[in-house]
Structure 1
């Protein structure tokens, strides 16, 4: 049995992995796939990949592309979620902010520098026509840190996956002002170069298992109820999310990767683009 370490956020996107692990699908291939939740998100996962504390990760596309251009020895194995991520833009429920326009020149809470909450603040600011050089950030690590930061007015707004934060809106902790979808497929499966070089056939087995699960995921009987119960979401919210979400079994297309790099470069978040062959497995 070969032990393989994989990390990802504790969100509904990753249920196919947990089902495959729980049902012994990887064990049948001689793989002990060990999953670790990383609530801090992409910035933290980039650090764990860089220090080789994990072999694989399900991670935000823009975050890992930025990290790879900065020297993180990682490659994208394949696209995992083909659809955009819907980033909700939130403020404290008791704040005076009523519109997105009022957030100009205020402070955004972010989980890590280089995380999705950090990078997408730039994308959202650009869409609003704001000067991105005036963006201000407060590091909060995770969702609980964001709650504390907004409640105590250390930060003014927080961007996080819309459906994960919806219960906080419903319970009167956050107020939702709008959405900012990623202009590209949102999640990819990645691995460290060292692991990929040494385990080519093993990686193929892992891909075959997870792709079998994702291609049939929406057809699982009562999967909406399973997701709602497991992730403490309203059934109608999960149904909307399932309708919007498309899993992928293919490699990330080169032109989509070029768009990610071009956008990051335009926002001065990376110094320059690198060849797609240095990013794709």
Structure 2
């Protein structure tokens, strides 16, 4: 039995992993796969990959590319969700800020540096034509930290996935002033290099199982109702999310796409210079 640890955010994107684990599909392939929730998001998972606390991570594309560029000993083995992530831009319900233009000099709550909430705040600032060098950040750890920071005035706005935060908008904790979609496929699967060397065949089997599940995920009977209950979402919000979300069908991430994403990240001043795309990816289906 091969032991592998996989990590991801406790959000609806990763429900296919829950189903495959519940059905013991990995055990049938002699793989003891254990899931770990990372509510702190991609920055927290990048650290876990570096420390060897997790072997496989479902991370935001921009976060892992930045971290591999800075020495994370991991590779992207495939895209997981090929559509963009919709980031809601939120202020506290009693905030004086009304529009996105009001936020130019405001303090941004981020889960940690290098996380999606940090990098997408930079992308958003670039889109608005703001001076990126003047952005002010407050590290808050996770979604609950964002709620606290906006409620007590430690930070002014916070970017997090639109549908995950929708209940907080509905109940008046947050007010959403705008959305900012990622300019690339949002989630990829990253694996530590050591695991790719030692357990390549097992990683392949894991990918085959999860890709097989995501292929027909939307066809699962009452999947919208199941997700709405599990993630405490309105049925119409889950329906909208399912409509705009497409998982990958197992095709590897290409060097061309990795280069294009790096070009944008250099443009946004998120990474200093572009590196050879082969540093970032490992094609599992040669």
TM-score (structure 2 length as normaliser):
0.97
CA RMSD of aligned residues (A): 0.7
Deviations 1:69-109 (A, max 9, x none): 00111100110000000000000011111100000011000
Which position in structure 2 is the counterpart of 1:2? 2
Which position in structure 1 is the counterpart of 2:81? 81
Which position in structure 1 is the counterpart of 2:186? 186
1:278 CA drift (Å) = 1.1
Q: Is 1:123 aligned with 2:123?
A: yes
Aligned counterparts, 1:11-90, within 5 A: 11-90=11-90
Which position in structure 2 is the counterpart of 1:273? 274
Q: Name the CA distance, whole Å, in 1 between partners of 2:274 and 2:51.
A: 23
SS in 2 for 1:183: coil
1:256 CA drift (Å) = 2.0
Q: Name the CA distance, whole Å, in 2 between partners of 1:253 and 1:87.
A: 24
| Structure 1 segments unaligned to the other structure (5+ residues) | none
Q: Name the CA distance, whole Å, in 2 between partners of 1:221 and 1:229.
A: 14
Q: Which moved more, 1:75-84 or 1:247-256?
A: 247-256
Q: Name the CA distance, whole Å, in 1 between partners of 2:147 and 2:73.
A: 33
TM-score (structure 1 length as normaliser):
0.99
SS in 2 for 1:114: coil
Q: Name the CA distance, whole Å, in 2 between partners of 1:18 and 1:83.
A: 21
1:29 CA drift (Å) = 0.5
1:140 CA drift (Å) = 0.3
Deviations 1:211-257 (A, max 9, x none): 11000100000000010011111000000000000000211122221
Which position in structure 2 is the counterpart of 1:251? 252
Which position in structure 2 is the counterpart of 1:154? 154
Q: Name the CA distance, whole Å, in 2 between partners of 1:143 and 1:204.
A: 32
Give the conservation status (yes or no) of the 8 Å contact 2:41–2:115: yes
SS in 2 for 1:191: strand
SS in 1 for 2:275: coil
SS in 2 for 1:33: strand
Deviations 1:27-80 (A, max 9, x none): 111111100000000111110101111110000000000000001111001100
SS in 2 for 1:229: helix
| Structure 2 segments unaligned to the other structure (5+ residues) | none
Q: Name the CA distance, whole Å, in 2 between partners of 1:109 and 1:8.
A: 21
Q: Which moved more, 1:57-66 or 1:251-260?
A: 251-260
Q: Name the CA distance, whole Å, in 2 between partners of 1:154 and 1:196.
A: 42
SS in 1 for 2:176: strand
Q: Name the CA distance, whole Å, in 2 between partners of 1:105 and 1:258.
A: 31
Which position in structure 2 is the counterpart of 1:137? 137
Q: Give the aligned length.
A: 281
